Amino acid sequence: MKQGMGKVAVGAAVIGAAAVVGVAALVVRQRMKNSSRWARAMAILKEFEDKCATPEGKLRQVADAMTVEMHAGLASEGGSKLKMLISYVDSLPTGNEEGVFYALDLGGTNFRVLRVQLGGKTGGIVQQEFAEVSIPPALMSGTSDALFDYIVEKLASFVAEEEQRFQQPPDRQKELGFTFSFPVMQTSLNTGTIIGWTKGFSISDAVGQDVVAELTKALKRKGVEMRVAALVNDTIGTLAGGRYSNKDVCIAVILGTGTNAAYVERAQAIPKWHGPLPQSGEMVINMEWGNFRSSHLPLTEYDQTLDVESLNPGDQIFEKLTSGMYLGEILRRVLLKMAQEASLFGDTVPPKLRSASILRTPDMSAMHHDSSSDLRVVASTLKDVFEIPNTSLKTRRVVVELCNIIATRGARLAAAGIFGVLKKMGRDTLREGGGKTAIAMDGGLYEHYTKYRECLEKTLTELLGKETAATIVVEHANDGSGIGAALLAASNSHYRGGEAALPSPSPLPLPSPSSPSSPPAPEKVLEKF
C-alpha cells in the first residue's frame, strides 16, 4: 500500500514538474515573442529615423535647389514647380499711413471683416476691430452672387455699427483690402481671375471671373460705398503687416495648416515681367513654395503613400513634409505600421488607428511637449484619439521619439527653405554697410508648436553661421493676413495726394547686388517619387 502511494506521489511530482516546465516554456516563448516584437518596433523606428535625417549637407542641397527653382519660376510661367506669382504689390506700408481702412479676409468656411485706424508716423495702429462670420454650407456650393451678397451684407452691418465713431470726410470713399486665399491669376493689384475653388467650396459660375469685380458688383447691389484697393493672399498680408512695424521685413513665411512664403524681389530680376518697371524698382513675389520638390527632400514610404492617397497627388510635396495638415497624419501612419508588424499596442490593431487624418498635429504637439515622468499626456491622447486604453511607458516613449523625428525633419526643411530665399536675395552672408533682414512668421504651427519653432530657428542659425545669423531677425507677425490687407489698402489708397494724403511709400529694402545673376540650370524634377 505504501509502495503504491509512493508511486502516485512520484507520478504527481513528475506531472507537477512537467507543468512547471511547461509554464516556464510558455513564459520564455512569450518573452521571446515580446522581445522579437520590440526588436521589430525598434527596427521600424531606426529605419524611419534614418530616412528622415536632415544633416547640414542635405539641407544646403535643399536650399540650393530652392534658389534654382526660384530663378526658373521668375524666368517664365510654368518654368518651375514654384509658381513665383507676381503680386503687383510694389510698395509696402511705411508706418506713415493715416485714416480708417477695412479688410475682408476670405480663406475658408469662416470669413472676417476688419477695421483698422492708423495714426500716421507717431500714432501707429490706433485701433483695430474685427468680426468673424460663418458661411452657411449652402452658399459654399451656390452662386457667386449669393456668396458675395451674403458677405457684403455682413460687411455692411459691421461698417454701420461704428459709422458714427469713424466718419470719413464727405468726399472720401471707404477703402478695403481683400485677402482671398483661393487660387487666383492676378492681373493687377486689385484684379484677379478665380482659377478654381478649394477647402470645400464649389461655386462654378465664379470660376473665370474677376473676384474683385464680383465683390464690387455685390457692394453696388447692396448700396455699400467702398473701393477694393488691393487683392492679396495671406502670405503677402503677413509681409505687409510685418513691414508696417519693422522696416527691415522683406520675407514672410506662413507655417500653419499649409505653408507659403513671399519676399521682395528686384523688378529687373523678374524676366517674365513684361510691364513697365514699377517706380519703386521692387515687386513682392508670392512663391507658393508648398509645391516645391527636389530629389534632395528626405521622403519615406509613409510620405509616398500619404501623397498618393491625398486629394492632390504629386503636388505640394514640400507642404506635405512641413505643415500642420500633414505632420499628425505621418505619425499615425508610422504607428499603424508598428501596430501591424510589431504589435506595438497588443495582439490586435486598434481599429481607429486605421482612420486617416484622425490624429491632428495639435495632438502630436501635445504629446511631443509632454514633460510628465509617466508621459500621461501621451497616454490620454492615445486613449482619446485611438481608444487605446493601456500603454506601457516604453511604448509612450517611442511615440514621443516619433513626434520628435517628424517635427525635426519638418522644421529643418522649413529652415532650409528660408535659407534658400535668403540666398536668392543675397542676404545669406554679411552685407556691406551692415543692416538687418527681418522675416515675418505667422501660422498656428509656428506659433503654438514650440519645439518645431525652436528647431527651425536653431537650424537657420546653423546654416547661416552665428555672425550672419545675428543680422537676421525672425519675428512673429500675429494675424498678418487681415491687418496686412487693410495696410495695403492704406499704402495704395486713392487719397495719398492732397489734403488727406498719405506720404508716398519709401522703396522696399533692396536685395543685395550679390544675388546670383546666372543661376545653374534647374534641377530635373522627377514626375513620380
Catalytic residues: 199, 234
Residues ≥6 apart with Cβ < 8 Å to 146:
139
**C-alpha grid cell, residue 44:** 521600424
Q: How many CB atoms lie within 10 A of CB 104?
A: 24
CA neighbor of 232 nearest in space, from 439, 494, 488, 496:
488
SS3 436: coil
**C-alpha grid cell, residue 39:** 526588436
CB 209 within 8 A of CB 175: no
Query: With the CA atoms of 502, 504, 509 and 510 taken in that order, what torsion angle do they form, in degrees rounded to the nearest 10?
Result: 160
Q: Distance (Å, rounded) from C-alpha 372 to C-alpha 375?
A: 5
Rg of the chain over Cα atoms, rounded to whole angstroms, equals 29
**C-alpha grid cell, residue 131:** 468680426
CA neighbor of 490 nearest in space, from 102, 104, 159, 90:
102
CA neighbor of 319 nearest in space, from 137, 82, 6, 55:
82
**C-alpha grid cell, residue 472:** 537676421
**C-alpha grid cell, residue 339:** 501596430
